Chain A
Amino acid sequence: MRTLWFACRQSLLWALPATALALAVLWIGVATTGTGTPWLHVAAFLPVVASSLSAVAFWPPFATDARGAELVRRTTKGPLHGMPTATLGALLAAAACLLLLAVAASPLVPEPRAHHRLRAHERPLLDDGRIELSFALPEDCVELQLRPVVLMPRAAPEATSLQIAIDGKELAAGPVMIFGDRQLVRVPLERGSGTTVALRRISGNLPLWFDAAAVLAVDGSGPPRLLGCALAFSVWLLPLWVTLGTAMLLSRWLRQPMALVVAGVALVLQSLGQVGPATAAVTLCARGHWLLTEPIFWPCITSLGAGVAAMIAAMALRAEHRR
């Protein structure tokens, strides 16, 4: 328990100033640019990178040449010499800081709502051969979001106009125009207005492909913003987990400066490089999506598995080395 406490406290010592910096960046960024999404990413990144680097710097077995590494390796039980405990300490510290950030950032994001992906009853293509597509509409939806893929027309392109009908009744707002690929069109609906939505092409020649994420129905109510924000930020613990798992795996070969560089690069890859679910989670949160209804579960499981696999590989390597 003392290892966990010391590791957690040490990570907090690094992560709390980083969180303060993150809050400042968030506040100044939103105030000066008027947009929140990029600043939310930066804010989540800072405490995670601080916790990660502090764990590597604090716990000697993460590097071959750290002060007293050999003494700690001899004294600690288990093949990974306390590195999982130090990782857990860093995760707890990062979780505390991310929760703080979530509290601060929750007023900046829209209320999270479930976004249901609607699937067409037919082949999801509106072109000369098919002018109408219909979808089953969930109850309690208050908005329809269209974001179709635009294909090449046979003649000179002409924006496609769509008339939307709920249970056969056309919307009073009139048709919507689609002229760009993945152009987002938001259509407000009355709550509980029907069970079927139909899209009818009434003019234009751009063929529209409605793939899995092209037609979304947005629920009218959802959980509180804080919960949505906290969930999105908590996904940022996965890059930390993967990073420290990688550091464990490489700890037999790396000196401390290189171990810190590797940890930093792993985190940058998972944030700027968008490897893993962390950036997508914050982006979805900033767009008002409720994460539990989004297909982000499998990327999260993949990240979790990558960290576990790295840890198991590290254990196997250590055991082999001991033999």
Chain B
Amino acid sequence: MAAISVRQLCVTFPGRWRKPAVQALLPLDLEVQPGAIVGVLGQNGSGKTTLLRVLAGLQDWSAGTATVLGRPPGDGILVRRVAWQPDGPPPLAMLNGREVLQWFGSQLGLENDLADARVDEWLSYFELQHASRRAVRTYSSGMQRRLLLAASLLGEPEVMLLDEPTSGLDPVGSELAMAALRQCARKGAAIVMASHHLLEVEQLCSDVLVLHEGRCALRGTLDELLGSGDRSLVVRGLAEDALPAIRAAITAHGGTLVRSEAQRQHLYALYRQLAVRPPSGTVPAVDHRGAN
């Protein structure tokens, strides 16, 4: 069974006074299987956030059907099984980071001990331990985004609806977020994420949905959309005099050497070397014991 199923979904924001009604989503079909990561792309105002809000049960729709885990999106039971991360600051910003996560844990029905253990793990994973006793309102936007991601992951959800999950994150944070989402997907979570970071979507997502003015402009797997029949080869560390022989070998196998360039370090690698705390790369492996 698909984790998310949307058929002919339309969302119309009613007009008020002299303002005309706005059609935010025109008939849209979408199916997301468990374990899939769907990237929703599109210009500002194309309907990405509206789609996520519908799936999170926060937005009524005017036509069509939508189900999440076989239930209507507004079903209260889904709150614990479906994580929704809005594109905005975290709530309860007067509390410190640990307390905000503890509060989310309590709302997800986790026992206090288990919630506290998971909070520690995710704070540590997202490198927020040093700031965990500080009020969230003093966090930078990237730290707030990390905290929201941690809150989303706390309950080990079956479906994750993420609005710009890596917006404002530094490269290390972005890498951490992507690793955590990959692991969630491997465990069977269906993930729908709206994003403007094409490179991250390309690295992370299995499927892509491109919206344009509320309509589906493009949909499919990355392999379908970007092609996967041909192989490209990236080789580093070649000696200059080996190039002709390599070129000849590639040509002999029907390929083309597109470009060769002097080797230099990638900016990201340089950043990683300079980073004070390089990411551990170990996504917390929490079990479901104690979760209601």
A residues with a Cβ closer than 8 A to B are 1-3, 6, 10, 57-58, 60, 66-72, 74-77, 322
Would you call A67 and B93 a contact (CB within 8 A)?
Answer: yes
In terms of DSSP, what is the predominant structure of the interface of chain B? loop
Known pairs A67-B91, A71-B86, A77-B76; A2 contacts B102 (CB<8 A): yes
Bound-state Cα–Cα, A68 to B56, Å: 15
Stretch at the interface among B29-37, B103-111, B196-204: B103-111
Q: Which residue of B lies closest to A82 (CB)?
A: B107
What's the least CB distance linking A74 to chain B, in Å?
6
Bound-state Cα–Cα, A75 to B106, Å: 10
B residues with a Cβ closer than 8 A to A are 56-58, 74, 76, 79, 84, 86, 88-95, 99, 102-104, 106-108
Would you call B104 and A75 a contact (CB within 8 A)?
Answer: yes
Bound-state Cα–Cα, A322 to B102, Å: 28
Taking CB atoms, residues of chain B closer than 8 Å to A322 are: 74
Known pairs A70-B58, A71-B86; A60 contacts B91 (CB<8 A): yes
Would you call A72 and B57 a contact (CB within 8 A)?
Answer: no
Would you call A68 and B92 a contact (CB within 8 A)?
Answer: yes
Q: List 15 A-B contacts (CB under 8 A).
A: A3-B106, A6-B92, A6-B99, A10-B94, A57-B94, A58-B92, A60-B91, A60-B92, A66-B91, A68-B86, A68-B90, A71-B90, A72-B92, A75-B107, A76-B107
Would you call B92 and A70 a contact (CB within 8 A)?
Answer: no
Bound-state Cα–Cα, A72 to B95, Å: 14
Would you call A58 and B94 a contact (CB within 8 A)?
Answer: yes
Would you call B58 and A1 a contact (CB within 8 A)?
Answer: no
Taking CB atoms, residues of chain B closer than 8 Å to A58 are: 92, 94
Would you call A70 and B86 a contact (CB within 8 A)?
Answer: yes
Would you call A3 and B90 a contact (CB within 8 A)?
Answer: no
Q: Which of A10, A67, A76 has the most CB of B within 10 A?
A: A67
Q: Which residue of B lies closest to A66 (CB)?
A: B91
Count of chain A to chain B residue pairs whose CB atoms are closer than 8 Å in the complex? 54
Taking CB atoms, residues of chain A closer than 8 Å to B89 are: 67-68
Taking CB atoms, residues of chain A closer than 8 Å to B58 are: 70, 74
Known pairs A74-B79, A75-B107, A77-B76; A68 contacts B91 (CB<8 A): yes
Taking CB atoms, residues of chain B closer than 8 Å to A71 are: 84, 86, 88, 90-91
Known pairs A2-B106, A6-B95; A75 contacts B90 (CB<8 A): no
Bound-state Cα–Cα, A69 to B106, Å: 17
Would you call B88 and A68 a contact (CB within 8 A)?
Answer: yes
What's the least CB distance linking B64 to chain A, in Å?
19
Of the candidates A6, A66, A74, the one whose C-beta lies within 8 Å of that of B56 is: A74
What's the least CB distance linking B132 to chain A, in Å?
15
Q: Which residue of A lies closest to B93 (CB)?
A: A67
Q: Which residue of A lies closest to B137 (CB)?
A: A67
Bound-state Cα–Cα, A319 to B206, Å: 39
Would you call A74 and B84 a contact (CB within 8 A)?
Answer: yes
Known pairs A10-B94, A58-B94; A74 contacts B57 (CB<8 A): yes
What's the least CB distance linking A255 to chain B, in Å?
15
